[in-house]
Structure 1
Amino acid sequence: MKLHKESTGTIVVATILFAVIAFAAIYFLEMWSLLIIVPLLVIYGLVFWFFRVPKRNILDHKENVIAPVDGKVVMIKEVEEDEFLKEKAIQVSIFMSPLNVHICRYPVTGKVVYKKYHPGKYLVAWHEKSSTENERTTVAVQAYNDHKVVFRQIAGYVARRIVFYCNEGDQAKAGHEFGFIKFGSRMDVFLPLNTEITCKIGDKTKGGIDVIAKLK
Structure 2
Amino acid sequence: MNRHTRALALALTLSAACANAAPTVDGDTVLPDLPQESNQTAIPYPAIDQQTQIDQMSIQIARLEREIGLLTNRIQRLEHSAKAKPPAKRSMGVQRLDDAALKKHYQADTAAENGQDDPVSANERRLYEQALQRYRQGNYQAAAALLKGADGGNGSETARRNMYLLLQSQQRLGNCESVIEIGGRYANRFHSSHQTPDAVYSIGQCQYAMQQKDIARNTWRKLIQRYPDSNAAKQAAARLQQR
TM-score (norm 1): 0.25
Structure possessing the higher relative contact order (Cα contacts under 8 Å, 6 or more residues apart): 1
Q: Which has the higher helix share?
A: 2
Determine which structure has more spread, i.e. the larger CA radius of gyration: 2
What is the TM-score with the length of structure 2 in the denominator? 0.23
